[in-house]
Structure 1
Amino acid sequence: MRILIIEDEAGISNFLRQGLEEEGYETTVAVDGLQGILLAEKQKPDLILLDWMLPKLTGIDVCKAVREKDKTTPILFLTAKDTVQDTIEGLKSGANDYIKKPFNFEELLERIKIHFRNTGKNKILKLGGVEINVLKHTVLANDKEINFTQREFDLLKYLIENKRRVCTRNEIIENVWGIHFEYDTGVIDVFMNAIRKKLNFKKEEEFIKTIRGVGYIADDNN
């Protein structure tokens, strides 16, 4: 599961990032409101932790902008603002939850898990005869469960979430590996070969195609 942290205070964002990654979550950090909106649209995180007071755009502005295009991703405000009116304003802007600073990290983890349970309950991704259950972290191919590594699962999930759209190598490296600098994207081919072998598609059922020199596309609308 990928969590986008939109927080301009380095101490807090580093604390959150380290703690969440130790719990097995993938994280990305945005340091201002504008960057937060761009990353939310580009990376399609599973949950957003959002500060209220941000450079360039406020958390309220970010929340409203994200909600215009994304109605379902959980958004949790983390803020020192603590009046009832502040809470109401945050929830009205589209947030799912409101956690006051300073917060207890264990409580935050439990809130995150609750929101994942609520939103992931029926989150099934499909590609041909393949089904991914995001919550249970399982992959079925023609009703048979296939064992995937974490990286294989994340790669297949990303391609299916972006079905019928060409995903470039750089996009895949950034969104699946979380690497935002020059990197040998040839590693993607190794994982794609493993995924294809495990799914054992027939020739006429090749639902994940290689776009030479560009990337990959998942498409079962043949």
Structure 2
Amino acid sequence: MHVCLIDDDPRLLETLQRGFHDLNHTCEVFSSPEEGLARLTGTDVEEPDVLLLDVMMPRVSGWEILERIRATGRKTPALYLTARQEVEDRVHGLELGADDYVIKPFAFTELMARIRAVLRRHGYQEAIEIGPLIIHRNRPKVECAGRQVEVSPREHAFLELLASHPGETFSRTDLLQKLWDLHFDPGTNIVEVLVARLRRKLGTGGSGIIETVIRQGYRISLPEEPTE
């Protein structure tokens, strides 16, 4: 799951980002509402699975952010995280296009339950199935050809990333940024080592499912359509 969080409370950002990472989810955080808004209304950007917004922030409120996002036609599931408890505020947020309204302080387990409920209403897949491969999105569980495969959180993130974009090729640079948060080439073969290890774990049942695209990167090999 890919979460985008905009809140001007640095302690909350750190706590929630750590919680999402512990569950193997990607979490982008923005303490600046302007930067978050620019990220979410930009062109040719990857849309997150869910958006978490504070309401009262300096210069740009969470209400204005969601209103401007919805004006672009984007329907990203969104939840407000706020200490404002007035019924009028909750109604206003929902009328702007929010899917839920979570009152601070809250337990992380409650937030996750609310996020999952919202995503289910939007048709979010709990698992991705491609050929013999099943990747569970809310926990690091992978099955291949009917057997469970033990994978690390980063291996799971690699498979989920590629399986969420079937047929799309991810370069080495893409993978370093998305999986290791490295915006430079460390001069090592960590990507190649991860791919080789995953291929061994998937075994013959997953033979060829991680495809190398020469001089471009890696992608999930789509199963061939049956012929008449």
Give the alignment's TM-score, normalised by structure 2: 0.74
1:18 Cα deviation (Å)? 4.7
SS for the counterpart of 1:68 is: coil
Q: Which amino acid aligns with 1:104?
A: P
Contact map agreement 2:141 2:149 (CA 8 A) in 1 = yes
Contact map agreement 1:6 1:36 (CA 8 A) in 2 = no
Superposed counterparts of 1:56-205, under 5 Å: 58-63=61-66, 65=69, 68-71=73-76, 73=77, 75-100=78-103, 103-106=104-107, 108-116=108-116, 119=119, 122-177=125-180, 179-184=181-186, 186-201=189-204
Alignment RMSD: 3.4
Contact map agreement 2:66 2:96 (CA 8 A) in 1 = yes
Contact map agreement 1:87 1:98 (CA 8 A) in 2 = yes
**Selected match of 2:219 from 208, 217, 222:** 217
1:35 Cα deviation (Å)? 3.6
**Selected match of 2:208 from 203, 206, 209:** 206
- Give deviations 1:195-221, integer Å, cap 9, x for gaps: 111112479x52322223332111315
Measured in 2, the distance between the counterparts of 1:97 and 1:200 equals 43
Give the alignment's TM-score, normalised by structure 1: 0.76
Contact map agreement 1:209 1:217 (CA 8 A) in 2 = yes
Contact map agreement 1:2 1:46 (CA 8 A) in 2 = yes
Q: Which amino acid aligns with 2:29?
A: V
Measured in 2, the distance between the counterparts of 1:22 and 1:202 equals 29
SS for the counterpart of 1:167 is: coil
Q: 1:53 to 1:37 in 2, by over 3 A?
A: farther
Q: 1:132 to 1:202 in 2, by over 3 A?
A: closer
- Give deviations 1:165-217, integer Å, cap 9, x for gaps: 1122222222223x1521427311111111111112479x5232222333211
Measured in 2, the distance between the counterparts of 1:192 and 1:12 equals 34
- Taking only the aligned residue pairs, the percentage that are identical comes to 22
Superposed counterparts of 1:10-49, under 5 Å: 10-18=10-18, 21=21, 26-30=26-30, 31-32=32-33, 33-37=36-40, 42-49=45-52
Greater alpha carbon shift after TM alignment, 77-86 vs 151-160:
77-86
- The gaps in structure 2 that reach 5 residues or longer are none
The total of aligned residue pairs comes to 215
1:29 Cα deviation (Å)? 1.0
